[in-house]
């Protein structure tokens, strides 16, 4: 279209042309061309001024439309970014989406996100557009630490809003001596971060805060490697993207916390299920053990049931530490440590662990009934400890049941033992039948123990004796202030010591205990009862009150007190090792002993009598000391050795006499025990 400048029609045509270009959304260059053509055709004055005004307005419309387009694009980008953030739950992926969109929408060379650490400093978490490292110096890559208060990040943290600069390296506000706040705030200097910015060649930087409530948790940066002035629309778009990045950080943090809570709930649920299973196991095991006790099971069965339930070795012991029952064996058991743990366990009234061994108290009220010693290869859990306590209670219940049974049967059992030791004795056959009905086999060897408490009340000792006799399948009665126990066994001395060791601590004062036996028939019980009485009287006469012994323990006094006068046993206990040594090696230690005593204990005089060198006698005496022990020359043992030598010599003379009287006997050395 040709613009005519001579008349008004030309001006009107020019305005119409502007409207046409505006309607077609023509580029600004065509509007400039229209003005140039109007001037060439002579359009001037008011008409030219109106045309220029119309072109300016068209440019403003065009610019507004461009801004609207950019705004729509930015809003669309924010919408797309928000949608993308809902698709991923990984913080790295979420922030990569934000930095990638920031760089593309704003036409930036570099975009990165920093997050605050726990101690105030920040670190680069995600970056887009960083140059590859080709030389020394850091880059704006993930992991770079940035000091608190440094650069734009410090300003964002301080003000809580976007901060930008067209040329960071030349901006005096961010120099170490500069100030963003009229002298109130001096930015920190971070050599590593400064070096990274220079290595990246950054000039223009804009930063927007990542806010979580009123707290700034990081910043979103956009940077150019050229000087650039950012428009308000660009800064607003960056701030919107920063808000989305903050939401991503919150989302990731919330997800992490949720995952941690879910994991903790799962662990709690697993622990609860495990605990319930263990509690059910404890309840069932306790029920089995208690049913076993109520059904009349013995301690061995209870120990085995507890061992199966705990998957461990279980020992049941009495208050003195002696074994009552066991399920397995514990090698290398430290008895001293177990004894200390037992005291602690009874004081605390709960199981105690020493090294790898548990000790549980068996108690009834304040009474000590013993303990359980347990060793488990895999250790015991809290529920196992509870089961151990319950097993100890079951053992205590069983022991109390035994005691109650013993007390209930006490009069009948007492009467049986009274008849056994009566003088004259009752009919042996009837007594044997009565004993069988009570579960006592008098055909087995038995020893008789007399226990005399030396002070205090006797009632507690009698109750204990009933339980003790019942536990060992024996009998008990009380006569003349003494507790009488008939117990299965062949070692009277050991039985006396066992009774004293258990009864004395229970009463808290000394107990004199004497024992005799064994007897293997009902008619022998009266005899060993009298022998035990003589032994107890001899202990009192010798000042042995509060001790425990048998007739055999009294040496030649026991020989005199004993009804069967066991000469062989006395000789064997006094000089048996010397006699055996002579018989095996054809030596003459016995004659040396006799010569030594005959010479008044002089080795030289004994050597003359034996026609040997004094050194020979000295060596023989040393050998005798090795055989009889280091105290063989003390007065008490010397007397027994001399008496045994005389008895042995008398037996040899009698043996030779029998050989001379009977020519049919073959000559030979005298027999031991003849």
Exposed, middle or buried: residue 177 (CB in 10 Å: 0-12, 13-18, 19+)? exposed
Residues 358-369 have a mean pLDDT of 84
pLDDT score for 238? 84
Tens digits of residue pLDDT in 111-142:
999 998 877 788 898 888 888 766 556 678 88
Q: Is 449 helix (H, G, I), strand (E, B) or coil?
A: strand
Q: Is 124 helix (H, G, I), strand (E, B) or coil?
A: strand
pLDDT score for 451? 92
pLDDT band at 223 (very low <50, low <70, confident <90, very high): very high
Q: What is the DSSP letter of 522?
A: G
- Specify whether the CB–CB gap between 355 and 333 falls below 8 A: no
pLDDT score for 204? 92
Omega within 30 of 0 (cis) for the link into 607: no
pLDDT over threshold 80, residue 19: no
pLDDT score for 4? 45
Q: In the block, which residue shows the tokens 């806010």? A: 211
Residues 553-568 have a mean pLDDT of 55
pLDDT over threshold 70, residue 1: no
- Specify whether the CB–CB gap between 160 and 154 falls below 8 A: no
pLDDT score for 578? 82
Q: In the block, which residue shows the tokens 């056959």? A: 429
pTM: 0.40
Q: State how far the Cα of 365 lies from the Cα of 666, in Å rounded to an integer.
A: 72
Residues 241-264 have a mean pLDDT of 83
Q: Which of 393, 322, 402 is nearest to 364 (CA)?
A: 393
pLDDT over threshold 60, residue 664: no
pLDDT over threshold 90, residue 448: yes
pLDDT over threshold 60, residue 187: no
- Specify whether the CB–CB gap between 122 and 148 falls below 8 A: yes
Helix (H) or strand (E) holding 247: helix 232-294
| Tokens found for residue 648 | 């042995």
pLDDT score for 209? 92
pLDDT over threshold 70, residue 622: yes
Q: What is the DSSP letter of 25?
A: T
| Exposure of 124 in the CB half-sphere (CA atoms within 13 A) | 21
How far the first Cα of the chain sits from its last, in Å, is 162
Q: What is the DSSP letter of 402?
A: H
Q: In the block, which residue shows the tokens 């002993």? A: 593
Q: Compare 128 and 438 and report the one with higher pLDDT.
A: 128
pLDDT score for 134? 62
pLDDT score for 5? 44
Q: State how far the Cα of 108 lies from the Cα of 110, in Å rounded to an integer.
A: 6
pLDDT band at 672 (very low <50, low <70, confident <90, very high): very low
pLDDT score for 658? 43
Helix (H) or strand (E) holding 43: none
Tens digits of residue pLDDT in 302-352:
888 888 888 888 989 887 777 888 888 888 888 888 888 888 888 888 898
């Amino acid at each position: 279209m040709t613009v005519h400048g001579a008349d008004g029609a030309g001006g009107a045509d020019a305005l119409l042309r502007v409207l046409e270009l505006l309607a077609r959304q023509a580029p600004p260059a065509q509007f400039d061309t229209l003005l140039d053509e109007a001037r060439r055709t002579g359009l001037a004055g008011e008409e030219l001024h109106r045309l220029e005004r119309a072109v300016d307005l068209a440019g403003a419309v065009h610019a507004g439309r461009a801004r609207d387009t950019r705004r729509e694009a930015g809003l669309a980008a924010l919408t797309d970014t928000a949608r993308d953030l809902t698709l991923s739950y990984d913080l790295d992926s979420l922030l990569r989406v934000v930095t990638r969109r920031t760089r593309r929408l704003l036409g930036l060379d570099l975009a990165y996100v920093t997050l605050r650490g726990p101690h105030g400093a920040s670190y680069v978490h995600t970056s887009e557009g960083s140059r590859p490292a080709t030389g020394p110096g850091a880059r704006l890559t993930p992991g770079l630490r940035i000091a608190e208060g440094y650069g734009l990040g410090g300003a964002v943290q301080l003000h809580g809003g976007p901060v930008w600069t067209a040329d960071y390296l030349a901006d005096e506000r961010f120099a170490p001596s500069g100030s963003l706040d009229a002298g109130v705030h001096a930015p920190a200097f971070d050599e590593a971060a400064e070096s990274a910015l220079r290595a990246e060649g950054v000039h223009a930087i804009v930063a927007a805060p990542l806010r979580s409530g009123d707290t700034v948790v990081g910043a979103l940066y956009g940077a150019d490697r050229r000087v650039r002035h950012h428009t308000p629309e660009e800064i607003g778009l960056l701030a919107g993207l920063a808000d989305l990045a903050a939401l991503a950080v919150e989302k990731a943090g919330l997800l992490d916390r949720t995952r941690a809570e879910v994991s903790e709930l799962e662990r709690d649920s697993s622990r609860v299920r495990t605990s319930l299973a263990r509690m059910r196991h404890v309840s069932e095991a306790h029920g089995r053990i208690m049913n076993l006790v109520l059904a009349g099971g013995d301690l061995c069965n209870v120990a085995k049931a507890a061992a199966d339930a705990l998957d461990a070795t279980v020992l049941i012991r009495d208050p003195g530490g002696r074994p009552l029952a066991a399920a397995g064996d514990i090698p290398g058991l430290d008895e001293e440590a177990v004894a200390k743990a037992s005291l602690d366990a009874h004081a605390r009234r709960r199981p105690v662990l020493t090294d790898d061994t548990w000790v549980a108290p068996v108690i009834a009220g304040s009474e000590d009934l013993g303990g359980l010693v347990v060793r488990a290869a895999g250790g015991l859990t809290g529920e196992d400890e509870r089961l151990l306590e319950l097993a100890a209670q079951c053992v205590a219940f069983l022991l109390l049941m035994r005691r109650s049974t013993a007390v209930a049967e006490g009069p009948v059992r007492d009467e049986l033992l009274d008849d056994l030791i009566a003088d004259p004795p009752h009919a042996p056959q009837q007594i044997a039948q009565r004993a069988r009905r009570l579960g006592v086999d008098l055909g087995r060897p038995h020893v008789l123990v007399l226990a005399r408490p030396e002070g205090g009340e006797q009632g507690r000792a009698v109750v204990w004796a009933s339980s003790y006799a019942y536990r060992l399948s024996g009998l008990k009665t009380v006569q003349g202030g003494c507790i009488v126990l008939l117990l299965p066994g062949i070692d009277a001395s050991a039985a006396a010591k066992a009774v004293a060791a258990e009864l004395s601590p229970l009463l808290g004062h000394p107990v004199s205990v004497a024992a005799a036996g064994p007897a293997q028939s009902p008619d022998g019980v009266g005899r060993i009862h009298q022998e035990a009485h003589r032994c107890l009287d001899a202990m009192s006469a010798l000042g042995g009150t509060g001790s425990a012994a048998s007739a055999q323990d009294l040496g030649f006094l026991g020989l005199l007190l004993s009804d069967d006068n066991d000469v062989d046993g006395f000789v064997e206990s006094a000089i048996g090792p010397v006699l055996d040594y002579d018989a095996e090696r054809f030596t003459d230690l016995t004659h040396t002993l006799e010569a030594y005593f005959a010479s008044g204990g002089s080795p030289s005089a004994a050597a003359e009598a034996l026609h040997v060198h004094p050194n020979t006698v000295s060596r023989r005496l040393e050998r005798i000391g090795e055989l009889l022990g280091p105290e063989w020359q003390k007065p008490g043992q010397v007397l027994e050795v001399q008496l045994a030598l005389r008895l042995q010599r008398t037996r040899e003379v009698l043996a030779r006499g029998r050989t001379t009287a009977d020519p049919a006997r073959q000559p030979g050395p005298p027999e031991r025990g003849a």
